[in-house]
Structure 1
Amino acid sequence: MYAKGHAASQHLRENASIYVFTSLLFLIGIVFGAVIVNSMNVIQKQDLFFYLDQFFEQMMGGTVSDAVSLLKSSFFYHMKYLLLIFILGMSVIGMPIIWILLFMKGIVVGFSVGFLVNQMGWKGLFMAAASIAPQNLIIIPVYIMAGSIAMIFSFTLLQKLMAKKGHQPLLPPFMKYSALFVILFAVLSVASIIESYVSPGALKAVVEFIYGS
């Protein structure tokens, strides 16, 4: 157990710059998403809020998709996204695309929270806390870790391919890379369960409180 903890801390120390880079990239995406909200004109905001308001009414009426459908949709969405990062990490040249994916993920989170707060003030903040925060407390670190691990593997692959000391075995780092992504897949499964069973109920309670008050 101690050996694993020591290996993990050593890994973080050696690759701290990569983890900081991916975290900043995600954070910049969040900020950019919030900026997009402020750059929208009144008509665009009204149109988007109309659809959001319709969704809230459907939720109160109980016509929103059931939890099982939401779980399938959430699970396959995250699995495909993570699988894409996994594949790009093995391609070396796919590193810039990984950066774009992380940046876009940050934009989605920043825009979602920013729009709710912009349109509804403290009520929107409560809605964001109920519907977006629970699963994203898991999803955001997982995506940052996935992007970082993919970048580290790309650098490792590049170093081994360019090494002049003869053939360098690629199987051990690939097995470790695959095992880490399997763990991340499992963690994202937990996030999908929260997104499908916990967040909708929490959001519905907040919506009923706001619209009923």
Structure 2
Amino acid sequence: MHQGMRMVKNDVQSHMNIFVFIFVLFLMGIIFGAVIVNSMNFVQKQDLFFYLKQFFEQQASSPGTGKAVLWKDSVLYHVKYMLLLFLLGISVIGMPVITVLLFIKGLVLGFSVGFLVNQMGWYGLLISTVSIAPQNLIIIPVYLIAGSLALIFSLTLCKQLFIRRVHQPLMKGFVRYSGLFGALMAVLMVSSVVEVFISNSILELVLKWLYE
């Protein structure tokens, strides 16, 4: 086990530029999402906020969907997303799609938080903090690591195919790649619990305080 951890550490150090690239790409997505909010006109903001306010009021006045159903939906979403990243990582043509997916992930987060703060001020910041922040403290690092691993494995496949001097044990690398994705998926199960049973419960209390 100690040897395996040392190998992972060496891999991280040797591919640090990819991890930094993925982080910067995600950060650019967040910034771009916030910029989109500021570029929307008044009517667009009001239309979107009208539906958002209706959703908040409905959440405040009714108990909503059962926790078990929400947890199942959250887990299913993470499984699909991680499986997509995994499959893109074992395909040579998956590299640009991986970067686009992670950029969009950042864009959605930046837009969500930016729009709430833009329309609701401190209340929007409060809602963002309780509903988005807790689980994303786990989700974001996991997705960034998963995206980096997928990009690294895809690059390794490219080297094997197009640079004949490079010879790496692909099967051994694939087993380790699969194991790391499995471990990251297990971490996301924890984030789903946090999202449904902690964040969602706090959000319901905050919305009741705001709208009742």
**Cα deviation code 1:94-136 (max 9, x no counterpart):** 1000000000000110011001100011110010000000111
What is the match of residue 82 of structure 2? Answer: 82
Structure 2, unaligned runs of 5 or more: none
Distance in 2 between the 1:207 and 1:168 partners? 54
Q: Does 1:177 align with 2:177?
A: yes
What stretches of structure 1 of length at least 5 have no aligned partner?
A: none
Q: Aligned partners of 2:211 and 2:61: how far apart in 1?
A: 12
Q: In structure 2, what is the equivalent of residue 199 of structure 1?
A: 199
**C-alpha separation between the residues in 2 aligned to 1:184 and 1:118?**
33
Aligned to 1:27: 27
* 2:120 alignment counterpart: 120
Computed over aligned residues only, the root mean square deviation of the Cα atoms, in angstroms, reads 1.8
* In the alignment, structure 1 residue 14 sits paired with structure 2 residue 14: yes
Matches within 5 A, 1:1-213: 2-164=2-164, 169-212=169-212
3-state secondary structure, aligned to 2:93: coil
Change (3 A) 1:88 1:126: same
Q: Deviations over 1:12-50 (max 9, x none)?
A: 211110000000010000011111111111111111111
TM-score (norm 2): 0.93
Aligned mates of 1:90, 1:24 — CA distance in 2: 23
Q: Look up the equivalent residue of 1:61 and give its one-letter code.
A: S
Cα distance in 2 for residues equivalent to 1:74 and 1:167: 40
Bigger Cα displacement from structure 2, 161-170 vs 175-184: 161-170
Change in CA separation of 1:169 and 1:209 when aligned onto 2, cut-off 3 Å? same
Amino acid at match of 1:20: V
> Is residue 34–residue 111 contact of structure 2 (8 Å, CA) maintained in 1?
yes
Segment of structure 1 superposing worse, 174-183 or 72-81: 72-81
Q: What secondary structure, in the 3-state scheme, does the structure 2 residue paired with 1:164 have?
A: coil
Q: Comparing 105-114 with 69-78, which one deviates more in the overlay?
A: 69-78
1:63 to partner: Cα distance: 4.4
SS in 2 for 1:93: helix
| Distance in 1 separating the partners of 2:28 and 2:169 | 37
* 18-27 vs 62-71, which moves further: 62-71
Aligned length: 212
**Distance (Å, rounded) in 2 between the aligned partners of 1:167 and 1:129:** 48
User: Which whole-Å CA distance do the structure 2 matches of 1:2 and 1:171 have between them?
Assistant: 21
CA distance in 2, matches of 1:6, 1:167: 21
> Which residue identity does 1:54 align to in structure 2?
Q
SS at match of 1:64: coil
CA distance 1:165–1:104, change in 2 (3 Å): closer
What letter is aligned with 1:136?
N
